[in-house]
Amino acid sequence: MRVLVTGGAGYIGSVIVAALVRRNHEVLVIDNLYKGHRAAVMALAQLLTVDLGNAAAVERSLAEYGVEAVIHMAADSLVGESMQNAAKYFRNNVVNSLLLANAMVATGVRRLVFSSTAAVYGEPETVPIAEDAPLEPTNVYGESKLAFERMLRWYDQVHGLSSIALRYFNAAGAVGDLGEDHDPETHLIPIVLQVPLGKRDAVQLFGTDYPTPDGTCIRDYIHVGDLAEAHVLALDALARGDVPSGAYNLGNGTGYSNRQVIDAARRVTGHAIPAIEAPRRPGDPAALVASSERIRRDLDWQPRVPGIDEIVASAWEWHQRFPNGYPD
Ligand code: UFG
């Protein structure tokens, strides 16, 4: 298939591009390289450095390249930043997604896999969280992703655009030469690994008074390679037309506290990794753990790297090989 991946130069997007290329799909990446890395786009994929806000260019690319399906990853995705700059998140995650959907309708592209988030649930009443749990985001980022998910329901009904939204829990780890390189880095695992890399003295624990067994937040970490495979399965299912449009959670179903993640990194790296207690970070729910039963059942998705030590080890291997990240 000819597949457009928006945001394909980003951390998760680049691993998805590699998975698609391995399956002999032809891949076009659209990325404005604001956060993405040129070097992360495999040589086999074509990269167009275009912003999704440039609707005319996006529509032209869909038509000229003969795109048959889209994986839409391009977005801003930081909870904290979204609480400082709501306008940026609604523009980039809602308005630009809408422009993309309209370009797809105009060019007759009818299959979309959308990168959504566990943040659509807000503070869950129960964990693990199933897809039919209440959708009450506690931050602008989650609200912006939910807004587009809701639009997609109507685009299916009105314009025949089938879509699968994948609600990611916490992506981590690396696949081959592709790993996590954000500037600034805000995610727990790469920050923890900066200590044994000699780039920081200690990790800060944001909040130690949450209603969890050890007082720190609990998250469900999913290996980025397992996440990428789910996109390939979703794309295949849309192509076969054998699942209705809808949303799937993507996590392992096991939660690890921030302290447990640091302990895993201590085991993996053999470094003491000092942790300093710090105030809570605004917008952080106490515990987010997925029920991924629906995607296991409907798409036969099976995580290959479910353990936290293996996930951290895969990130650690990448950071040791590329201590300064990508060259660009
Ligand atoms: N944390 C620290 N110290 C740090 C960095 C993070 O204690 O230096 C804590 C956070 O406060 C949080 C946990 O580690 O409790 C995980 O934080 P991350 O920033 O790694 O990940 P988030 O859970 O905030 O967010 C990620 C994605 C979002 C997505 C969410 C869904 O970045 O896009 O997972 O669970 F919405």
Which mutation among 79, 116, 256 tests ligand 1's pocket best, with the greatest number of atoms within 8 A of CB?
79
Nearest ligand 1 atom to the CA of 191 is 8
Q: Provide mean pLDDT across the span 162-174.
A: 98
Q: What is the pLDDT of residue 50?
A: 96
Domain spanning 2-172+221-250: which CATH class is it, in words? alpha beta
Q: What is the pLDDT of residue 270?
A: 98
Of the candidates 175, 184, 245, 131, the one whose C-alpha atom is nearest the C-alpha of residue 13 is: 175
Q: What is the pLDDT of residue 214?
A: 98
Q: Provide mean pLDDT across the span 70-76.
A: 98
221-249 tens-digit pLDDT:
999 999 999 999 999 999 999 899 999 99
Q: What is the dihedral of CA 110, 34, 89, 237, to 10 degrees?
A: 30
Is residue 11 annotated as a catalytic residue, yes or no? no
pLDDT score of 113 more than 90: yes
Q: What is the pLDDT of residue 280?
A: 95
Nearest ligand 1 atom to the CA of 170 is 34
Q: Which of 141, 210, 221, 256 is an active site residue?
A: 141
Q: What is the pLDDT of residue 42?
A: 78
- Enumerate residues lining ligand 1, CB below 6 A: 77, 79, 117-119, 169-170, 186-188, 191, 203-206, 217, 219, 258, 281, 284, 288
pLDDT score of 43 more than 90: no
The confidence band for 96, taking pLDDT boundaries of 50, 70 and 90, is very high
User: Can you give the residue ranges of every domain in the chain?
Assistant: 2-172+221-250, 188-218+253-289+299-321
Cα 237 to ligand 1 centre (Å): 30
pLDDT score of 328 more than 80: no
Nearest ligand 1 atom to the CA of 220 is 35
pLDDT score of 287 more than 90: yes
For 27, the token pair is: 């891949």
What distances in angstroms separate CA 296 from CA 44, 65, 311, one per listed residue?
A: 30, 33, 20
Cα 206 to ligand 1 centre (Å): 9
pLDDT score of 313 more than 80: yes
Q: Find tokens 């306008």 and name the residue.
A: 87
Pick the CATH number of 188-218+253-289+299-321 from 3.90.1150.10, 3.40.50.300, 3.30.365.10, 3.90.25.10: 3.90.25.10
For 255, the token pair is: 């939660």
When the pLDDT of each residue in the chain is averaged and rounded to a whole number, the result is 97
Cα 171 to ligand 1 centre (Å): 10
Q: Cβ distance 185 to 191 under 8 Å?
A: yes
Which mutation among 120, 144, 167, 219 tests ligand 1's pocket best, with the greatest number of atoms within 8 A of CB?
219
Tell me, letter by letter, the H, E, C secondary structure of the chain: CEEEEECCCCHHHHHHHHHHHHCCCEEEEECCCCCCCHHHCCCCCEEECCCCCCHHHHHHHHHHHCCCEEEECCCCCCHHHHCCCHHHHHHHHHHHHHHHHHHHHHHCCCEEEEEEEHHHCECCCCCCECCCCCCECCCHHHHHHHHHHHHHHHHHHHHCCEEEEEEECEEECCECCECCCCCCCCCHHHHHHHCCCCCCCCEEEECCCCCCCCCCCEECEEEHHHHHHHHHHHHHHHHHCCCCCEEEEECCCCCEEHHHHHHHHHHHHCCCCCEEEECCCCCCCCEECECCHHHHHHHCCCCCCCCHHHHHHHHHHHHHHCCCCCCC
